[in-house]
Amino acid sequence: MSQPLRSGARSRITGVILAGGRARRMGGMDKGLLELGGRPLITYAIAALAPQVGDLLINANRNLDRYTGFGYPVVPDLDGSFAGPLAGMASAMQAAPTPLILTAPCDSPLLPGDLAQRLLSALEAERADLAVAHDGERLQPVFSLLHTRLLEDLTGYLDSGERKIDRWFARHRVARVDFSDRPETFLNVNTPEELQALEQRLRQEP
Ligand SMILES: Nc1nc2c(ncn2[C@@H]2O[C@H](COP(=O)(O)OP(=O)(O)OP(=O)(O)O)[C@@H](O)[C@H]2O)c(=O)[nH]1
Ligand SMILES: [Mg+2]
């Protein structure tokens, strides 16, 4: 069930780390670059995603030089209006050389090693346009595997002034993937207090 993807399947997927938000709850800092356990927060997502995909890119809107230093292409949103995660997904779909993108946020350091495998199984079994993680209580829309053929529809949606991710998903065939066995997976760091709490936890159980 949770075996790693074979290289043929991996090569169809570009991993996308979404790091393009304004991080207002973090005082406007660039969240992906904040340190956790002595290294930038985004490095946890990169380390988790890289072995699961054929290509990887980082979607960021600030500090592009620093993000480039992690060794993967960096793509900003198509416009500078900070239109939310869908804008990052659109930009990534345009840049990705593969038929699928797998998104994860830069502020979720506990990503599971079988994210791609579980989302891809459901995507194929349900012949869906996109597969989205569900934590047992709610959908986790920024943990998604999407066909890049959705780009045209997505840019049309954004150009019409829409922003809401759930409403855009509702226009498509969505496979919901149950991760209720892995509640930690979606832990994400939004405030300085949450970052500090996780820092302390990692120190206690490295
Ligand atoms: N590309 C892009 N990504 C975004 C944008 N807004 C949010 N995101 C990303 O979407 C994911 C989830 O967003 P949040 O956790 O709310 O992060 P955020 O919006 O930066 O933080 P807040 O301002 O505190 O809500 C994160 O990976 C963000 O980087 C945006 O305008 N463009
Ligand atoms: Mg936000």
Binding site membership of 21 for ligand 1 (Cβ less than 6 Å): yes
Residue showing tokens 């994400």:
188
Mutate to test the pocket of ligand 1, among 16, 25, 57 (most ligand atoms within 8 A of CB): 25
ipTM: 0.97
pLDDT at residue 4 in the model: 72
Expressed in angstroms and rounded, the spacing between residue 19 Cα and the centre of ligand 1 is 7
Sorted by sequence, the CB contacts under 8 Å of residue 1 that are 6+ apart come out as 118
This prediction's pTM? 0.96
d(CA 123, CA 115): 12
Q: What's the pLDDT tens digit per position in 141-198?
A: 999 999 999 999 999 999 999 999 999 999 999 999 999 999 789 999 999 999 999 9
- Contact criterion met (CB below 8 Å) for 23 and 62: no
CATH of domain 7-204: 3.90.550.10
Expressed in angstroms and rounded, the spacing between residue 121 Cα and the centre of ligand 2 is 29
